[in-house]
Structure 1
């Protein structure tokens, strides 16, 4: 009788386990129930606050169906603008688009940087949906962790070599499946995680844009010493 009872308890326990892909699907269902990210066309207004520095104000336009991306950022007296319209790249500085090579170099402006911004913003603001992109390796084992006093279901993600070498951890609320923290580490030449590298980002509040629940506030910290880096605040 005890053996049967033990078997039943174990069966229930195993039945309640969730795989990495199942967790991701539940998280996407929370954040993007109508699958709107794949056809996202909208504008994000982001204020970046950093210690001992003035704020940076960015207007980001993303139109995924049309392969269009534009970011216009202002800080102090400088305004930069990058546009990627399919394969065409354009750059402006303080409203001037006919820039010399010297002006581009002095202000660290390039089409390579434009693509970095596009990848950065579409990745971070497209989470967790972006975790279904090709080349993303989802660990099937979901961990249960306590971080900053809160309990989470944690998804471990890495990428194929041609995409990236960082190791990421995504922390989901175990009741709502909302993404509330993510964290990444660099790796060494052998592919091992470097514990004193990388950052973690705390997410709070929500902006609903195109019926997608997008975290409004992102606070960035170093993993190695919990040093505060800055805060991004999203407005629609």
Structure 2
């Protein structure tokens, strides 16, 4: 009886271990369960106020309005004596300078008031503030293997992400606390063999509509740890 029981027990232990193995997709699901436990990001409607500080430069103030189901994005940026509004409404672009439509090419060139920039800002803000949920978007390639790495003296579970060619060419790494799967660092490379690109340290949180969003993002170069700047999400709230 014992001779029969031991092999079966050993097989069951191996099978249980295999079932519990943490894969890339499973890690992503756990991280999303921490940051967006009720799946509210896809229906997010809200406003955000962001302060961006960089060395030897004036602090930039940005007001965002997002309505993801309504396909609406608005970024209002204060630049010196100017306020520039970039609006994407169901694919249609509108540009405002001090609340007036932008027509003159002079303003478009000198202040970068273009629809191309509006689209880039939309993609930039919805991607970074929608992480890690945005890693479920089409074209995202999740590495099945979960890495383990020490970064700035702390051990992390690491998710490697690439993208379909038409989506993006950078390689990204996302660092999660192994105890609760909170996202605390992300890092990208244009060419990993050259150690280029940047890493971003995340700290503090703002909770909006049960979504835990990193409040502080501090940016550094991968090559030399040079500090680039900080984004501070000073305020965020949901809209009805």
TM-score (norm 2): 0.90
Q: Deviations over 1:122-169 (max 9, x none)?
A: 000000000000000000000011100011000000000001000000
Question: Is the counterpart of residue 95 in structure 1 residue 99 in structure 2?
Answer: yes
Residues 18-37 of structure 1 correspond to what in structure 2 (within 5 A)?
A: 18-37=22-41
Which residue of 2 is the match for residue 73 of structure 1?
Answer: 77
Once the two structures are TM-superposed, the CA of residue 28 in structure 1 deviates from its matched residue by: 0.4
Query: Retained in 2: the 8 A contact 1:55–1:75?
Result: no
TM-score (norm 1): 0.91
Aligned Cα root-mean-square deviation (Å)? 1.9
Which residue of 2 is the match for residue 148 of structure 1?
Answer: 152
Which residue of 1 is the match for residue 135 of structure 2?
Answer: 131
Question: Is the counterpart of residue 46 in structure 1 residue 50 in structure 2?
Answer: yes
Deviates more, 1:32-41 or 1:70-79: 70-79
Distance in 1 between residues matched to 2:216 and 2:132, nearest whole Å: 16
Which residue of 1 is the match for residue 196 of structure 2?
Answer: 197
Which residue of 1 is the match for residue 117 of structure 2?
Answer: 113
Once the two structures are TM-superposed, the CA of residue 10 in structure 1 deviates from its matched residue by: 6.4
Aligned residue pairs: how many? 230
Query: Retained in 2: the 8 A contact 1:168–1:182?
Result: yes
Distance in 1 between residues matched to 2:74 and 2:193, nearest whole Å: 34
After TM superposition, the runs of 4+ consecutive aligned structure 1 residues lying more than 6 A away are 3-12
Distance in 1 between residues matched to 2:133 and 2:67, nearest whole Å: 16
Question: Is the counterpart of residue 175 in structure 1 residue 174 in structure 2?
Answer: no
Which residue of 1 is the match for residue 227 of structure 2?
Answer: 228
Q: Deviations over 1:45-88 (max 9, x none)?
A: 11001111111010001101110000001133232110011121
